[in-house]
C-alpha cells in the first residue's frame, strides 16, 4: 500500500487517512481521491481527501484548512464532489 499512496505523499495527506490506508490489518480494497485547486503559481493545492471502498461507499473524508481561508467554500465543494463519487 505504501507504493500506492507514494504519488500523494507530497500533498500532505491527513494523518488519520494515511494511517487507515497503511494499516497492515486492513484487508479491504479502497480508493483514495484527492480534490485540488491550482494556486496563483500553478501549483496543485489539495483541499480534500476522500476514501471509499470499491463499491463507492464513503469510508471517510477530510477537508483541509489553510487557516480559516475559504474553509466553508472548500467543504461545500468537497461535499458536492463526494455526492458524485459515492453511492
Instruction: Identify the pLDDT of residue 52.
Output: 95
Residue 38 within a domain: yes
pTM for this predicted structure: 0.84
Residue 52 within a domain: yes
Residue 18 within a domain: no
Q: How many CB atoms lie within 10 A of CB 64?
A: 19
For residue 6, is pLDDT > 60?
A: yes
Angle (CA) 85 76 52, round 5°:
25
Q: Which domain holds residue 34?
A: 2-11+27-85
Residue 16 within a domain: no
- Taking only the tens place, the pLDDT of each residue in 11-56 is 778 899 989 988 889 888 999 999 988 888 888 888 899 999 999 9
- Going by pLDDT thresholds of 50, 70 and 90, the confidence category of residue 83 is very high
Residue 57 within a domain: yes
Look at the chain and report how many structural domains it folds into. Answer: 1
Residue 41 within a domain: yes
Residue 34 within a domain: yes
For residue 67, is pLDDT > 70?
A: no
Distance (Å, rounded) from C-alpha 49 to C-alpha 8? 10
Torsion of Cα atoms, 18 then 20 then 23 then 29, to 10°: -110
Residue 69 within a domain: yes
Amino acid at each position: 500500500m505504501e507504493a500506492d499512496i507514494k504519488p500523494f505523499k507530497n500533498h500532505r495527506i491527513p494523518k488519520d487517512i494515511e494511517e487507515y490506508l497503511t494499516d497492515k490489518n486492513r484487508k479491504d480494497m479502497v480508493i483514495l481521491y484527492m480534490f485540488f485547486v491550482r494556486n496563483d503559481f500553478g501549483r496543485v493545492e489539495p483541499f480534500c481527501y476522500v476514501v471509499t471502498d470499491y463499491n463507492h461507499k464513503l469510508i471517510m473524508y477530510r477537508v483541509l484548512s489553510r487557516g480559516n481561508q475559504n474553509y466553508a467554500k472548500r467543504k461545500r465543494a468537497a461535499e458536492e464532489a463526494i455526492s458524485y463519487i459515492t453511492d
